[in-house]
Amino acid sequence: TLADAITAIHATYNVPHVIITSVQIANLSDSPLPNTLTVIGSTTRSDGSPRLFRVDVPALDCYFSGTGDMFAALTVARLREAVFNADPALRTTKSWVSPDEVPATELPLAQSTVKVLASMHSVLEKTLEARDAELRALIPDESETLLGEAERKKKEHLRESKAAEVRVVRHARYLREPDVEFRASEWRAEDLPMQFR
């Protein structure tokens, strides 16, 4: 299971923080709607067991290039911010691993993930709106009628890809001050490997 994989990453490779993005979880009883992406995260406890959390976000019907890089960059900044907003002792703790009694949803990793997803979702929604407007305003090029089907589809794909370039600079406000509408929830005990239930 995904929980087993995260546990193995913590235990085998001694990785204190794990985030898995863009997961579609359709078989859980509390599963979100089908058009939802789930981000799964965990910060290890002192015994190596995971503190699993999830954040569900609406999926947008568009392919955006570079969102993984955007997620990683924002996570670094937001994790540092969350650590510095937490207990001052955490700043000097190895790998910023919170004490065992901190619940999964209150971990700096969970708090930073929520803010990162809020920023990204807003920027991507605005990008999608701009893409749709740009494609609607596009005047067909008459020379394209002379092209073969494959070449016409290629040009169309390139236009759509260019129109969907993430508009980060235009929407930097959402990076600085995201409108947080998502929340982290703790994964249930049955989602954990047997030895940690």
Reply yes or no on whether the pLDDT at 29 is more than 90. Answer: no
Is residue 33 predicted with pLDDT exceeding 80? Answer: no
Burial label for 79, CB within 10 Å (0-12, 13-18, 19+), is: buried
Q: How far apart are the first and last CA of the chain?
A: 14
The ranges assigned to domains in the chain are 2-196
Token digits of residue 147: 């092209």
Q: Per-residue pLDDT tens for 45-86? A: 999 999 999 999 999 988 888 899 999 999 999 999 999 999
Taking the C-alpha atoms of residue 151 and residue 82, their distance in angstroms, rounded to an integer, is 49
DSSP, res 169: G
Q: How far apart are CA 6 and CA 114, in angstroms?
A: 19
